[in-house]
Structure 1
Amino acid sequence: MDDHDQRLKDIIAEVARRHGVALGKDDPILILETFHARMVGDMATAVEKETQKFRQQLEEALSSYNSQVVRTTEAALNAVIEAADKAAREKMMVGVEGQLSEIRGQVGRDIESPINAAIARIIPHLKSAEHVSRLNILAASMSLLAVTASLWMMFHH
């Protein structure tokens, strides 16, 4: 006996216990429960797939960002070392402060670009996950409507 058969037996027993109604294995409400379980399972699989895709792309974006930060930091450090060496040779501390300010601005601009690119790559996946969530809500609403209609039909006929 698989999990699905056991779940149906459990539902039949719970309905009998709570409501005093005996359901048969061919009762339409059990067909609806099977349909609902399948839809929820399919949605869960789709959400997991999108989550994995999003995670992979986020890891790639962060890896790229990390590489860019290392390159930018190395370039900034090299520029600072060169600026400090030049200032020491010329013994002019006034010039060093202007150069450090320029390097700080360049580092800020260099770091901002990869962050904005990573965010731009993430946004479509967030929209896709939102779409899947809306579909899941729609499917759950349809299942609830079908259950309500089945119960109404069962008690009014």
Structure 2
Amino acid sequence: MANDKIEAIIKEIAAKHGIAVGRDDPILILQTINEKLMRDSAVAQQAILNTFKEELEDIAHRWGDDAKNKAERTLNAALLASREEMMKVMQEGAKVAAETVRREVEAGISMIAAPIRESKRVAFMNLAASIMTVFAAGLALWASL
């Protein structure tokens, strides 16, 4: 393979420049050195690229973790605020419901208060009539004796 490359270079130099170059020519030695340096450079660049790729992946992973943590904190804060707001709304609703029930109970009490007062008045009148009846019966009994 290396021989094929060298032969191809010798043919190309002869075709382009019209010069015959031998295998021991210094120009081919420079070409060989250049190829070696290029291979070494490619290996070194690949190692640098692999390191850079690993660093980028690590940074992306950290960014993902940071984003996840921030999203969790934001979500937790939103849930806490939502829970607090829900409790506030529930308390306000309970207060409104309690006030409505209190008003309804008071209205019901006021509706039955008048009949209760009337019933008391009738009961006192019956008591007075009973006392008068007992008194009259007592007088009638006394008068018949």
Q: Please confirm whether the aligned pair reaches a TM-score higher than 0.5, indicating the same fold.
A: yes
Partner of 2:77: 79
Secondary structure of 1:5's aligned partner: helix
CA positional deviation for 1:90: 2.2
Aligned equivalent of 2:31, options 30, 33, 45? 33
Higher Cα radius of gyration? 2
Distance 1:19 1:45 in 2: 33
Partner of 1:9: 7
Q: Cα deviations across residues 62-81 of structure 1 (Å, max 9, x unaligned)?
A: 11221221122112101101
Partner of 1:62: 60
Distance 1:53 1:6 in 2: 35
Partner of 2:135: none
Distance 1:19 1:63 in 2: 56
Secondary structure of 2:22's aligned partner: coil
Q: Give RMSD over aligned pairs.
A: 1.2
What does 1:117-128 align with in structure 2 at a 5 Å threshold? none
Q: Which amino acid aligns with 1:88?
A: M
CA positional deviation for 1:16: 1.1
Q: Percent sequence identity over matched residues?
A: 30
Q: Which has the higher contact order (CA 8 A, sep 6+)?
A: 1
CA positional deviation for 1:89: 2.1
Count residues in correspondence.
89
- In structure 1, stretches of 5+ residues that fail to align are 92-157
- In structure 2, stretches of 5+ residues that fail to align are 90-145
CA positional deviation for 1:88: 2.6
1:89 aligned to 2:87? yes
Distance 1:35 1:71 in 2: 53
